[in-house]
Structure 1
Amino acid sequence: MNPDEYESINTDSMAIHLSAGAMAGFMEFLVMFPIDTVKTRMQSISFKGSSNIFKVLMKMVKTEGIFSPIRGMSAVAVAAGPAHALYFSSYEFFKENTRRVVRLHDSFYHGIAGSTATLFHDAVMNPSEVVKQRMQMKNSPCRTALECARNIYRSEGLTAFYRSYGTTLIMNVPFQCVHFMTYELCQQYLNKERTYNPKTHVVSGGVAGGLAAAVTNPLDVCKTLLNTQEGQRTVGLFKAASTIYKSKGLLGFSSGMSARVAYTVPSTAICWSTYEFFKFILKEQDAKKGANYVPIANTK
């Protein structure tokens, strides 16, 4: 399949992007979940342990049991598929349709589309993130995601599930701008033909995710505090930032950065390669149904 065919066969098909995005979401979150748990622990204002990711992980397993690193996974499993389906389908939609409204450099289209896509993604994921991070904390009293969700609702109300939504958006809009712009820029250099090329999707996804994660880590630390509500009740980004600064100083905003980057690089590499793979397969199947089907040539 030549580059034009790969990018043009039913590119407006919402079903293709929804399906490919859903599979990408499951793979991204579930494979790297234990490292995400380590990141949450390291970003905690009460954390005083090692900065070595492996040591923290091993200590959790030793003191809390072998399943402690995956506590809260069920909360993510429920939301990851629908959230990423919306994420990628809206990204593809806005990427293509923004071109019809304004004329900008390609990188700006990708940044605008990525920022818009995160509004839909985070609206679905935020409640599950709250439940997940409560369960990831040390000595969490909850054993199931449903139990945790009920406890949060009873003690803090419905608004608790979206207390960090504003901060999440403030973090994820620049994250997705950097993420999508870097991914597309890497593809321009590594995959100029814009064919399905697994190696370039993995490399581009990893580089894009790692850079975006490092840049936005301070906001992620604030989001973790808003979700976990350690100590006194914390509401709002500025209150969270103030609490972190008083507890740990400026270095507190870099808490968990190594774990976040270590989690994000492979997870975004997995996410993009899974998305591009399923998009490729689904487009191939879609093409076979069409009258103008062209046999697929060997990809690089």
Structure 2
Amino acid sequence: MNNVSQHLVSGALSGFASTIILQPFDLLKTRIQQPDHLRKFSHNPLSPQSTFIISTAREIVQNEGLRGLWRGTAASLLRNVPGVALYFTGLNQFRTFLATSPYFTPLRASSSSQSTSTLPKLTAQGNLMAGACTRVAVGLVLNPFSVIKARYESSYYSYGSLSEAFIGLIRSGPSEIFRGAIASSLRDAPYAGIFVVFYEQIKSSLSSAISAPNSAVAAAVPVSLSAAVHSLSAASAGALATLATQPFDVLKTKMQVRSETKYRGVWSTVRAVWQQRGVAGFFDGSTLRMSRKIFSSAIGWAVYEGVLIAVRRPPRDEE
């Protein structure tokens, strides 16, 4: 299996695992973000979102059973499996390209960090550029799938099948196919850039701490320990990047699931959210998205790097 195939397979497995496990978070986040107001629960000023989340989840389970929390899983898989595969593969290729430039190559590579990763080492500027550019490019290519995913999770659309959803979207024209693409790019570029920078920094620090007592151990870090480093690093980076980009996620969801004129453009959507909910409106669903990103990052990057390490690790000689 060549290098590109390894990254594609690792990324696809990563996207599949995180989507299947965490789809309820995406579903509930979309339901939180789709309305203009949290009207039903305005009597609880302390935590209207928490009340809405619990009530929405209870309503879905009562009407559709536990399977209802996984509504839209097929659409999510259609978006996330190729999306994560392309992102990880593109990220590696772009990082490999940037690593050829002295400007983006660290002056001193960490041997301990190298022992828990198979990926190219870059400066913070290189990681920021690689993450942002790759995520935006993949997001634009797969934006139609993102629109279908958001609408499947919303309660405003009732598609009979994925084919019906795609036919309806295509017939609507380019304006619908790329609905919310700008808001998605404004969210994805800083998110991915910040994530990769923090992920590599945290991973490097943890790897150095693990191998500090005995530098000789650095060359043979156990797979389980590597997985723990990747999971913790990704979860921490995911939390920081999610908090910084939450407002753009709200704008993206509004633009993709609402049909009113005020949600046709980024600035008009900003005005609508501000007028209806104020600052709090830009953080609707933040708890769910934060939880989802922390877990998906931990699962996704552990699976991705773990598969690569397992594939590339030389077999033990039989005695």
Category of TM-score, reference length = shorter chain: 0.7 to 0.9
SS of the residue corresponding to residue 210 of structure 1 reads helix
Indicate if the aligned counterparts of 1:45 and 1:230 stay in contact, CA closer than 8 A: no
2:265 aligned residue: 236
1:68 aligned residue: 68
Question: Structure 1 residue 183 and structure 2 residue 181: aligned?
Answer: no
Indicate if the aligned counterparts of 2:148 and 2:166 stay in contact, CA closer than 8 A: yes
2:303 aligned residue: 274
Match 2:175 to one of 159, 175, 196: 159
Q: 1:231 to 1:159 in 2, by over 3 A?
A: closer
Structure 1 residue 163 displacement after superposition: 1.7
Indicate if the aligned counterparts of 1:83 and 1:120 stay in contact, CA closer than 8 A: no
Letter paired with 2:138: H
Q: Distance between the aligned counterparts of 2:176 and 2:169, measured in 1?
A: 7
Q: Distance between the aligned counterparts of 1:39 and 1:179, measured in 2?
A: 21
Letter paired with 2:176: A
Q: Distance between the aligned counterparts of 1:236 and 1:102, measured in 2?
A: 41
Matches within 5 A, 1:63-102: 63-102=63-102
Question: Structure 1 residue 120 and structure 2 residue 110: aligned?
Answer: no
Question: Structure 1 residue 23 and structure 2 residue 18: aligned?
Answer: no
Structure 1 residue 233 displacement after superposition: 5.8
Q: Structure 1: any 5+ residue segments left out of the alignment?
A: 1-9, 289-293
Indicate if the aligned counterparts of 1:202 and 1:273 stay in contact, CA closer than 8 A: yes
Q: Structure 2: any 5+ residue segments left out of the alignment?
A: 42-47, 107-122, 209-217
Q: 1:230 to 1:63 in 2, by over 3 A?
A: farther
Q: Distance between the aligned counterparts of 1:125 and 1:177, measured in 2?
A: 19
Indicate if the aligned counterparts of 2:242 and 2:290 stay in contact, CA closer than 8 A: yes
Question: Structure 1 residue 206 and structure 2 residue 235: aligned?
Answer: yes
SS of the residue corresponding to residue 216 of structure 1 reads helix
- Give the percent of matched residue pairs that are identical in Structure 1 and Structure 2: 23
Q: Distance between the aligned counterparts of 1:63 and 1:249, measured in 2?
A: 32
Bigger drift between 262-271 and 184-193 goes to 184-193
Matches within 5 A, 1:209-224: 209-224=238-253
Q: Distance between the aligned counterparts of 2:262 and 2:176, measured in 1?
A: 11
1:291 aligned residue: none
Matches within 5 A, 1:255-294: 255-284=284-313, 287=314
Q: Could you report, residue by residue, the CA deviation over 1:90-122 in whole angstroms, capped at 9, with x for unpaired residues? A: 111221221323414522221111112213321
1:135 aligned residue: 152
Normalization by structure 1: what TM-score? 0.85
SS of the residue corresponding to residue 23 of structure 1 reads helix
Indicate if the aligned counterparts of 2:37 and 2:277 stay in contact, CA closer than 8 A: no
Question: Structure 1 residue 36 and structure 2 residue 26: aligned?
Answer: yes
Structure 1 residue 157 displacement after superposition: 1.8
Structure 1 residue 221 displacement after superposition: 0.2
SS of the residue corresponding to residue 186 of structure 2 reads helix
Q: 1:110 to 1:91 in 2, by over 3 A?
A: same
Q: Distance between the aligned counterparts of 2:202 and 2:160, measured in 1?
A: 42
Bigger drift between 138-147 and 106-115 goes to 138-147
Bigger drift between 184-193 and 229-238 goes to 229-238
